[in-house]
Amino acid sequence: MAKPTSDLPASDLMEKITNLAKRRGFVFQSAEIYGGFRSAYDFGPTGVLMLRNVKQAWWRNMVQLRDDIVGLDASILAPPAVWKASGHLESFSDPLVDCKACGLRHREDDLPDLNTCPACGKSGELTDAREFNLMFKTHAGPVAEEGAAVYLRPETAQGMFVNFALVMGAARKKPPFGIAQIGKSFRNEITPGNFIFRTREFEQMEMEYFVPPSQSSQWHSYWCEERLSWYQDLGIPSDLIRLRAHEADELSHYSSQTSDVEFLYPWGWGELEGIANRGDYDLTAHSQHSGHKLEYFDQASGDRYVPHVIEPAAGATRAMLAFLLAAYDEEDVRGETRTVLRLNPHLAPFQAAILPLSRKEALAHCSQEIAKTLRPYLMIDYDETQSIGRRYRRQDELGTPFCVTIDFETLEDKCVTIRERDTMDQQRVPIDTLLENLRNQLAI
Ligand code: GAP
């Protein structure tokens, strides 16, 4: 597949992506009929397919293709004891200032000028910063009292630490080994924005890799390279992605060493994924608070130690945005602009679209039969409305790698036309070999 060539101005690109996302059913503003709920988004019929593909690509890479990583699906709700031990109750906060003139709230570290409100422009009206905890708190059961308090997880990671001993025993693993999890996380972000880049409800793909303490630095380097390659292999060109090591004052409360995989968003370089060396911070904290030993004992050597943790922590929804941005392209085709998402076929919502040239019974029947044969193996769209040109354009905007056209000749010669998305090249192939042909080209 060709690399994206789009060189649109940055602000245009973001607007085009959000418009396309809505028009083609990728992403909708949540509760739009009620005016929209800022900071939450719904994934439409094509978006849900793409998001699942992003998560599946990660799971395949992290769990299916390796024998040193196992999966977990831990609960979203957790009692305060977990967040007290993890340090989130005390330290998971952002510094917040209020503008006394317009009443708006800002993150102090987002302010270009500490004295001026970026919303109303007034000087000297900002309050001193207060720490604002980002966790969503609620109550389990019918009584809203402090003893029933629970929190929605702000990261999936703690599920892996709390279950460390159970997973290690059940899966019969020893360091170095990892626990991977995909799931929703929630943060009461002060400044959500940039579409699905920063939302209050989002999905994470995290893996905690437990290693002998002396090996933590080498595994950190290993995971930085692995994770960078994963994005590149799925089509993000190398000039849009980089690794950046954190300065000491940027590190989270649990990290001794973090590198971000950064993406060049339309507004500049920003975080796509963080790869942290969490040391023994979490296992030690949960051991102390719970009274349960969270360590590894090697019976052969008699060694006993608390493993150190390397954590590649990615956002599934944020990764989807990066893949969409990198894939967006416009090109001139015979005087008309063609918009195309040059998505990796593994990420595209549909792998192929079946397009009968006419709605006549005989063609429709043949086309439905072809779709039925392909569906167990590939995600197929079926479209018989509008002109064939418009249907091609629609599939280009969805990023569908192949369109299969069924025409009247098909009924005679039992062949169909495959049109490839990026080159628009067409090829006539027998129906009998269609599935094999598509699977070979898609490498699926
Ligand atoms: N367990 C470590 C951790 O959660 P993080 O850097 O805060 O680290 C990891 O989050 C990733 O989760 C980020 O790189 C980003 O992709 C995603 N993420 C974090 N906050 C997000 C938000 N408010 N909206 C969307 N994605 C978010």
Output the CA torsion 14→15→18→21 (10° steps). -100
Give the residue from 285, 309, 324 where a domain finishes.
324
Q: What is the mean pLDDT of residues 231-260?
A: 93
Task: Measure 185 CA to ligand 1 centroid, in angstroms.
Answer: 9
96 lies in a domain? no
For 392, the enclosing helix (H) or strand (E) is: helix 388-398
Residue 201 has a pLDDT of 97
In terms of domains, do 320 and 171 share one? yes
HSE, side-chain direction, 13 A CA sphere, residue 404: 29
Q: Is the pLDDT of residue 435 over 60?
A: yes
Q: How far is CA 343 from the centre of its chain?
A: 14
- The confidence band for 10, taking pLDDT boundaries of 50, 70 and 90, is low
In terms of domains, do 68 and 162 share one? yes
**Cα–Cα dist 86/282, whole Å:** 6
Spell out the residues 6+ positions from residue 191 whose beta carbon is closer than 8 angstroms to its own.
106, 107, 110, 198
In terms of domains, do 35 and 160 share one? yes
In terms of domains, do 280 and 399 share one? no
Asked whether 223 and 209 are in contact (CB, 8 A), the reply is yes
Residue 8 has a pLDDT of 65
Of residues 354, 358, 311, 348, the one with CA closest to residue 422: 348
Burial of 30: CB neighbours in 10 Å, binned 0-12, 13-18, 19+: middle
Residue 444 has a pLDDT of 81
In terms of domains, do 318 and 365 share one? no
Residue 148 has a pLDDT of 87
Ligand 1 atom with the smallest distance to the CA of 198 is: 24
**Cα–Cα dist 292/104, whole Å:** 45
* 118-151 residue pLDDT tens: 989 999 999 999 888 999 999 998 887 878 899 9
Q: 272-302 burial by CB neighbour count: b if 16+ within 10 A, else e?
A: bbbbbbbbbbbbebbbeeeeeebbbeeeeee
In terms of domains, do 187 and 299 share one? yes
**Cα–Cα dist 59/68, whole Å:** 13
Spell out the residues 6+ positions from residue 438 whose beta carbon is closer than 8 angstroms to its own.
351, 352, 374, 378, 402, 404, 418
Q: Is the pLDDT of residue 332 over 50?
A: yes
Determine how many CB atoms are found less than 10 A away from the CB of residue 232: 13
Range of the domain at 297: 2-80+154-324
Residue 1 has a pLDDT of 39
Q: Is the pLDDT of residue 6 over 80?
A: no
316 lies in a domain? yes
Task: Measure 100 CA to ligand 1 centroid, in angstroms.
Answer: 31
369 lies in a domain? yes
* 354-378 residue pLDDT tens: 999 999 999 999 999 999 999 999 9
Q: What percent of the chain has pLDDT over 90?
A: 86
In terms of domains, do 200 and 311 share one? yes
In terms of domains, do 302 and 365 share one? no
Q: Is the pLDDT of residue 259 over 60?
A: yes
- State the residue for tokens 């954190």: 246
Ligand 1 atom with the smallest distance to the CA of 189 is: 23
**Cα–Cα dist 166/262, whole Å:** 34
**Cα–Cα dist 199/202, whole Å:** 6
**Cα–Cα dist 349/95, whole Å:** 39
Q: What percent of the chain has pLDDT over 70?
A: 98
Tell me which of 95-104, 142-151, 202-211, 269-278 is least confident.
142-151
∠ CA 147-289-275 to the nearest 5 degrees?
105
* 75-127 residue pLDDT tens: 999 999 999 999 999 989 888 999 999 998 888 888 888 889 998 999 999 99
More confident: 43 or 251: 43
In terms of domains, do 283 and 385 share one? no
Phi-psi region for residue 170, left (φ > 0), alpha (ψ -120 to 50) or beta?
A: alpha
**Cα–Cα dist 105/121, whole Å:** 13
**Residue minimizing CA distance to atom 6 of ligand 1:** 274
Ligand 1 atom with the smallest distance to the CA of 154 is: 4
In terms of domains, do 420 and 283 share one? no
What DSSP state is assigned to residue 60? I
Task: Measure 336 CA to ligand 1 centroid, in angstroms.
Answer: 40
Residue 255 has a pLDDT of 85
Spell out the residues 6+ positions from residue 248 whose beta carbon is closer than 8 angstroms to its own.
none
Q: Is the pLDDT of residue 248 over 70?
A: yes
Q: Is the pLDDT of residue 3 over 50?
A: no
* 151-174 residue pLDDT tens: 999 999 999 999 999 999 999 999
**Domain at 361, CATH number:** 3.40.50.800
Q: What is the mean pLDDT of residues 205-219?
A: 97
pTM (two decimals): 0.94
**Residue minimizing CA distance to atom 25 of ligand 1:** 198
**Cα–Cα dist 11/63, whole Å:** 37
- Across the chain, mean pLDDT equals 94
Tell me how many domains the chain contains.
Answer: 2
In terms of domains, do 225 and 174 share one? yes
Asked whether 223 and 178 are in contact (CB, 8 A), the reply is no
Q: Is the pLDDT of residue 9 over 80?
A: no
Residue 429 has a pLDDT of 98
What DSSP state is assigned to residue 99? B
Output the CA torsion 82→83→85→87 (10° steps). 160
Helices 434-442 and 361-374, packing angle to 10 deg:
50
313 ligand 1 Cβ < 6 A = yes
Question: % helix / strand / coil in the chain, to the nearest 5?
Answer: 35, 30, 35
Residue 7 has a pLDDT of 63
189 ligand 1 Cβ < 6 A = yes
Tell me which of 77-86, 249-258, 405-414 is least confident.
249-258
In terms of domains, do 372 and 290 share one? no
**Residue minimizing CA distance to atom 21 of ligand 1:** 198
